Every structure is written in C-alpha cells, then in structure tokens.
Structure 1
Amino acid sequence: MITVVNVLSIFVIYPVVVFLLVFIICKFVLHKRKKSIGIASDVSTFFLYFSTANLFSFLFSKGIGWYLIIFSIILATIMTCLDWRSKKEIEIIPLLRKIWRILFLLLCCFYAFLWLFGVIQYVLTYIS
C-alpha cells in the first residue's frame, strides 16, 4: 500500500513529475497552456526547494536548506527594492508571483546542474 509519505517523497525526489502532473491536470481543466505552465511552475517550486537541498546533501554531504531560504529572502528583498524604485507603489501579489517564478527558474537550473553533476560523478566512479 502506497502511503502519503511515499507519494510525497517521490514528488520531492522528482519535481519534474510534479510539474508534468500539475500541467496535465490544469491543461485538461483550464484549456489554457500559458496559465497551466504558470500554475505548474508555482506548485513545483515548493518541491524544488526540498529536492535541490536533498540532492546537494546527497552529492556533497552538506546541507544547504538554510542557505536556500536566506538566498530567497535576499532575492525577494532585491526584487522588492527594484519594484519599488520603478513603480513607487508596490503591488504585493504580482511582486510575489514574479519572485516565485524567478526562484522557479533559478532552482530548476541549479537542480539540473546538480543532477548532471551527479550523473557524471556516477559514470566516472563506475568507469574507474
């Protein structure tokens, strides 16, 4: 019997599965591709936090969970200052959405880099 913890652990290990599942469900319900991609990226960003920290910890035996949180706070502060300087009045929801989507892109790139590094490390270990 598959428990909730097992399903969530699969989502944490493979955030691409979360993105694809949410995208397919939203595409089926909303019939809008752009909106579906946005919702899927918003949902999978949450799982990317855990999976990137978990993958980094697995590869290098060091935890970076707190560093990711601190980086996110610094990025949010910088984005808020830039938004405030350009618009003089901050709209909270669009700003949070912009910060969340930038974090999605950065975490995706970092996750892909770590994944590729892990595959290369495994192949090199297997060869030698």
Structure 2
Amino acid sequence: MKLVLTYILGTLILLPMTAFIISFFLFRKYLKKQADSSFSLAADITTFFLFFSVTLSIATLWNSTISIVAVVISILIAMLMTYKEWKTKNEIKVFPLLRRIWRMQFLYLIFIYTIVWIVGIIQSIIFFIT
C-alpha cells in the first residue's frame, strides 16, 4: 500500500498535468461544478504538484537545486500582488488575494514547467544526435 501511494505521488509530481486532468474530471462529475469552477479547483490542486515538479525537473536536468530561487520568486509574486492590491483598494481582503496569488503561481509555474520540458527535450535530442 505504501509503495502504491509512493508511485501515485511520484507520477503526480513528475506529470502534474495528470493531477489537473484527473481533478478536473472528478470535480466536473461528482461536484456538479461548472466548467470554469472545475478548472479553477483543478488548477489550485495542480499548483501544489507543479511547485515540486519544476524544482525536481530542473534538479534532474541540470544537477542544480533551485528550490530557494523558486520560493523567493513565489514570495516576490505574492509581495507584488499584495502591494498592488493595497495601492488600488482601500481594504485588503485576504482570502480573495490569496486565491489570486495562488492562481498567479499556477500560471508562473505552468510557464516554467513548459519551458523546462521543452529545453529538456531539445537537450536530449542534441545529446542523442551527437
């Protein structure tokens, strides 16, 4: 049982889009949510797996640990969004702000994830050609 759980979590961290697809369809079917709210909930779950996936992918491809860089960039995004919220609105509503920060993290991490995988594939092709 422990081994099965390890394989499932490993797959979700290696391929976070699997977590997105599974959670999207589960939310869509069992919670009877609209497509946009199912997408949002699936993105929220996938963000957690993307954070680990990006750092592990970079560590695997280039033998460097950038976990601290990823954390710093995430904190900077949160700080910038909080500052913008503070400047534009009189009152900061914490839960909606945290939700926007988490969704911005999803966009940032999915972009980095895609770039890392494309570069990794190109790097592997070049390695096998030469």
TM-score range, shorter chain: over 0.9
Q: What does 1:59-74 align with in structure 2 at a 5 Å threshold? A: 59-74=61-76
* Poorly superposed stretches of 4+, deviation over 3 Å: none
| Unaligned residue ranges in structure 2 (runs of 5+) | none
Match of 1:102 among 98, 101, 104: 104
Partner of 1:81: 83
- Quick one: distance in 1 between partners of 2:73 and 2:7? 29
Q: Provide, for residues 61-112 of structure 1, a one-character-per-residue CA deviation record: whole Å limited to 9, x for no partner.
A: 1011111111111111111110011012000011001000011001001000
- Quick one: distance in 2 between partners of 1:89 and 1:126? 56
Partner of 1:23: 24
Partner of 2:39: 37
Q: Does 1:58 align with 2:75?
A: no
Number of residue-to-residue matches in the alignment: 128
| Unaligned residue ranges in structure 1 (runs of 5+) | none
If the length of structure 1 is used for normalisation, what is the TM-score? 0.96
Q: Which secondary structure state, in structure 2, belongs to the residue aligned with residue 3 of structure 1?
A: helix
- Quick one: distance in 1 between partners of 2:69 and 2:36? 31
- Quick one: distance in 1 between partners of 2:26 and 2:49? 17
